[in-house]
Amino acid sequence: MNILLLGSGGREHALAWKIAKSSKLDKLFIAPGNAGTNQVGTNVNIKAEDFDAIKDFVLGNDIKMVVCGPEAPLVAGISDFFKNDEELKNIPVVGPSKEGAQLEGSKEYAKEFMLRHGIPTAAYKSFTKETLAEGKEFLKTLKAPYVLKADGLAAGKGVLILNELEEAQKELEEMLGGMFGDASSTVVIEEFLSGIECSVFALTDGKDYVILPEAKDYKRIGEGDTGLNTGGMGSISPVSFADEEFMTKVEERIVKPTIDGLNKENIDYKGFVFFGLIKVGNDPYVIEYNVRMGDPETESVMLRLENDLVELFEATFAGTLSEQKIIKDPRFAVSVMLVAGGYPGDYEKGKVMTGFEEVTDSILFHAGTTVKDGNIVTNGGRVIAVSSYGKDKAEALATSFKNAQKINYEGKYFRSDIGFDL
Ligand code: AMP
Ligand code: GLY
C-alpha cells in the first residue's frame, strides 16, 4: 500500500526508515519531510497542517494510510477531518481524534482525565486571568520549586520551574497576560515531583494496546542536564531503572487505566500514547501525556522495535492489536543530536554539511536539514540524530560519538554525556 507520513523532524525520519522496511509498503511519501526522509521515500511539498492539500494528495496518489508524526495536526483535528469527509473516511489516520489529542493539547484536560481515572500525577490547580489573585495565594501554600504550565501547546516551552515565590507569582501573571499567547490563557500550577524521568510509548486502538520499547531523553542543552530546555539532545533505550518491577507498575497503574479511560469515555483514539513519566521513590507518576511519539526517543525506539510497524498499524485499525506481540532487539540503542550553534536560542540556518559518507555503523536520522544547490544544509535547531546500536550502553554511545565527529558544519554542537545518569 501507499502511505503518507506527515512531519519533518528526526522522529519522522526514524518513522519513515522503519515504515520503509515494511513488507506491506509500496510507496512512502513524506509531507513535507527533510533531506533524510527523501532517502527512504519521496518528499511532498505540503505542510502537515494543510488539510485540503493533504486531501488532494491522498486522493491523487492512492494513499491507503496516513501516519501523523507531530501533535499540531492531531490537535487541529486531522483524524476527524478524514472521518467526516465522504472521500477520505475509509482511509485510516494513525493518530487520535481531536478529542483524544486534548490529552496533549490541554494540560488541564489531561490532569482532569488522570484524576477521573485514578492515574498517579502531581497535585494541581488551574487558573485564568480572572482567578490570578487566587493563583498567587495558591502558590503561597506550596513549597518551592514552583511548577507553572501553560495549558495549551507551546512547542515544549510552556513549562516554567521557579525557585522563588515572588518570581513564580510574577511569571504566573505574565503567563496569564499572554506570554505564550492563547496557550497560557489557562495555567496549571503543579506540585513539584523529584525523581528521574523516562518515556513510555503505547500504540492503541482505544481498547487494546501494545507497549513499545521505553527510552530516556535528555532535554537540557548543557552537559550534566544544565542550561536551557531544548526539544531533546539525545535518547537511550533500554532505560536501566525501568526494570520489570517498575514497568509492571507503569502498565497496571498508568497504561491500562489510561486506555480503559479512553474506552469508557468513548474517546476515539487510534495511535500512539506517549507517557512522560517520573519515578518518585519506586513509583511512576505521569508528568505529561503526548499523543504522538517522542523526539528524539523515536530515533532510539525504532532501532529496537523488531515488528513490522505497518503491520502494527493495520492491527490497530483491524481491532487485532491484542494478538500482536512486541519483539525488542536486545541491544542498546542511543541517539545523539547534533544541533546548530546558539540553539535553543537564536541560530543560523543554511550551513553546508559534509562528512556523511565517512559515517559507518550509525544511522543518521535527519531533523533540521534540507537540500540547497545540491548540498545538504542545516535547516533547524536540531539538525541530525546520530543513532547507533551496541551490546551495551558504552558501545552504542562510543559509535555515536565517533560518528558525531565526522559530520561537519559551522557551529555544530552536541552533548557528549548522553546516558550519564543511567
Ligand atoms: P512537560 O512539558 O510537561 O513535559 O514538562 C517539561 C519538563 O518539566 C518535564 O520533562 C520535567 O522535567 C519538568 N516537570 C514538569 N512537571 C513537573 C513536576 N510536576 N515536577 C517536576 N518537574 C516537572
Ligand atoms: N522528547 C520529548 C518530546 O518529544 O516531547
Could you give all domains of the chain from N- to C-terminal order, each with its CATH number?
2-96 (3.40.50.20), 124-190 (3.30.1490.20), 196-323 (3.30.470.20), 332-406 (3.90.600.10)
d(CA 260, CA 269): 11
The predicted model scores a pTM of: 0.95
Q: Where are the alpha helices (DSSP H) in 117-230?
A: 132-140, 165-174
Among 139, 160, 278, residue to substitute to test ligand 1 (most atoms within 8 Å of Cβ): 278
Ligand nearest to the CA of 231: 2
Q: Rounded to the nearest whole angstrom, what is the distance from the C-alpha of residue 40 to the centroid of ligand 2?
A: 23
**Triad 207, 212, 216: Cα angle to 5°:** 130
Residue listed under C-alpha cell 540553539: 343
Q: How far apart are CA 394 and CA 246, in angstroms?
A: 23
Instruction: Give dist(CA 166, CA 337) in Å, integer.
Output: 36
CA of 283 from ligand 1 middle (Å) equals: 16
Measure Cα distances from 113 to 80, 110, 197, 341 in Å.
21, 5, 21, 40
Please give the Cα distance from 363 to 387 (Å, whole number): 5
Report the pLDDT averaged over residues 318-330: 97
Please tell me the distance from the alpha carbon of residue 212 to that of residue 203, in angstroms, as a whole number.
Answer: 7
pLDDT band at 56 (very low <50, low <70, confident <90, very high): very high
- The answer, yes or no, to whether any atom of ligand 2 lies below 6 A from the CB of 290, is yes
Question: What cell does 290 get?
Answer: 503526548
| Average of per-residue pLDDT across 73-91 | 98
How many C-beta atoms lie closer than 10 Å to residue 51's C-beta?
18
Task: Answer yes or no: are the C-beta atoms of 71 and 231 closer than 8 Å.
Answer: no
- The whole-chain average pLDDT of the chain stands at 96
Q: pLDDT-based confidence at 29, cuts 50/70/90?
A: very high
When pLDDT is averaged across residues 361-373 and rounded to a whole number, the result is 96
Q: Of all atoms in ligand 2, which is nearest to the CA of residue 292?
A: 4
Higher pLDDT, 50 or 179: 50
Rounded to 5°, the CA angle 74-26-29 comes to 40
* pLDDT number for residue 157: 79
**200 close to 258: Cβ distance less than 8 angstroms:** no
Ligand nearest the Cα of residue 14 is: 2
Å from CA of 5 to ligand 1 middle: 29
Nearest to 276 by CA among 267, 265, 288: 288
Residue 35 phi, psi (nearest 5): -65, -20
